[in-house]
Amino acid sequence: EAQGGVPVLGVAKPVIIGHGISHATAFKNMIVIAARMIEADLTSRIKESFAVPA
């Protein structure tokens, strides 16, 4: 419940996976995690870190 869920890496947009029996607190925390990923532009930063230099 405290964490809510975990990010799925390697996809184009933020995706958070939670347990099927998660309660409201867990869902709230998953939304917070997704918002932080968006604010930090995490998916783009991860993609850039794997880019092959030209």
Average pLDDT, the chain: 88
From residue 4, how far is each of 12, 26, 38, 50 by CA, in Å?
Answer: 21, 4, 17, 28
Task: Report the C-alpha gap between 29 and 9 in whole angstroms.
Answer: 18
* Mean pLDDT to the nearest integer, 17-42: 91
**In what helix (H) or strand (E) does residue 5 lie, and over which residues does it extend?**
strand 5-7
Q: Percent of the chain at pLDDT above 70? A: 98
* Mean pLDDT to the nearest integer, 8-26: 88
Q: Name the pLDDT band for 36 (thresholds 50, 70, 90).
A: very high
The reported pLDDT for the residue numbered 1 is 67
The reported pLDDT for the residue numbered 28 is 93
Task: Report the C-alpha gap between 30 and 50 in whole angstroms.
Answer: 26
Above 90 in pLDDT, residue 17? yes
Pairing of strands 16-18, 5-7: antiparallel
